[in-house]
Amino acid sequence: MIIYPTIEIYNGKCVSLTRGRLDEPVIWHVDPVETARGYAEAGAQWMHVTDLNALKGEGDNAGLIEQVIRGAGIPVQLGGGFRSREHVTRWIEAGVGRIVVGTMAAYDPDMLRALAKWHPDQIMLAVDVLDNAVMTEGWQTRSAFAPESFIAAFDDAPLAGIIVTDIGEDIEDGDGSLGLITGLAAQTRHPVVARGTVRSVDDVARLKYVPNIAGTIIGRALFSRDVDLAEALQIAAAAREPVAGFQ
């Protein structure tokens, strides 16, 4: 299982969001580039970056993110406001390992499928869920799609994977989020990356035993030091213990 240590950038600062609320970010007074280097030094093989300004449609943090990519020295998975082929292509050419797309998939599904074919194993589908509906436009707009049907619509696309976030339970009820993500992971052939379920290293250990969970995105718990990245990476890399079957 892959651990994706995460940096969310808003107005040039590292932040965390509660239930997707961009108007109430928790600001972490750390340097984004040094934080990225620290993740790599701890042994991370990937990291995840979200440009919240781009997600909100209020400019972007492109220059800073380019510094983060160079400073990290490991593949970066980037999300935030991808609405066009040109935008996706520009960042892939700039060295981003994977692009996370959500809103585009809801409004222009054919474009998402085409991008996945043009850039195999480089497009991740974001499925952000609130009250059993897929949210778009930076978690602000409720779509008409149920998460199950939304995921099924792209089952034939050559995606790198699917990121599932339960916005309504984000961090505060890890068990509720894990239940939703477990159910959705069982309904797709694509590897699923869980977001918003890790508050401790015990949560990392639990995720390892969920079928079709290929990774987890961890942000707030690293900044608050509730999770030690090196320990989480060690747990994620360890062989799974045998599990007794039930009759």
Note the pLDDT tens digit of each residue in 180-231.
899 999 999 999 999 988 999 999 999 999 999 999 999 999 999 999 999 9
Q: Between residues 156 and 246, which one has the greater pLDDT?
A: 156
How does DSSP classify residue 167? G
Rg (CA), the chain: 17
Residue 242 belongs to a domain: no
Question: What is the band of 128 on the pLDDT scale with cuts at 50, 70, 90?
Answer: very high
Q: Using 50, 70 and 90 to split pLDDT, how confident is the model at 171?
A: very low
Residue 7 domain-assigned? yes
> What CATH number has the domain bearing residue 227?
3.20.20.70
Amino acid at 67: Q
Q: Is the pLDDT of residue 175 over 90?
A: no
pLDDT of residue 167: 84
Contacts of 219 (CB under 8 A, 6+ apart): 5, 6, 7, 8, 16, 48
Give me the active site residues, please: 8, 128
Q: Which residue has the higher pLDDT, 239 or 142?
A: 142
For range 37-61, the mean pLDDT: 95
Q: Is the pLDDT of residue 232 over 60?
A: yes
Whole-number pLDDT of residue 138: 77
With a cut of 50, say whether residue 119 has pLDDT above it. Answer: yes
Q: How confident is the model at residue 56 (pLDDT cuts 50, 70, 90)?
A: confident
* pLDDT above 60: residue 95: yes
Confidence of residue 118 (pLDDT cuts 50, 70, 90): very high
Residue 231 lies in a domain: yes
Q: Is residue 141 part of a domain?
A: yes
- Position 128 in a domain: yes
Does some domain include residue 247? Answer: no
Query: Per the structure, how many domains does the chain have?
Result: 1
What pLDDT does residue 59 have? 92
The answer to whether residue 102 scores a pLDDT higher than 50 is yes
Residue 214 located in a structural domain: yes
Q: Give the C-alpha separation, 127 to 147, whole Å.
A: 7
Q: Residue 245: inside a domain, yes or no? A: no
State the chain's mean pLDDT as an integer: 90
Given this model, what pLDDT does residue 246 score?
40
Query: Which amino acid appears at position 237 of this protein?
Result: A
Tell me how far apart the terminal alpha carbons of the chain are, to the nearest angstrom: 28
Whether the per-residue pLDDT at 170 is higher than 90: the answer is no
Average pLDDT over residues 103-111: 94
User: Using an 8 Å Cβ cutoff, are 100 and 163 in contact?
Assistant: yes
Model confidence pLDDT, tens digit, residues 134-164: 998 877 889 999 999 999 999 999 999 999 9
73 is in which domain, residue-wise?
2-237
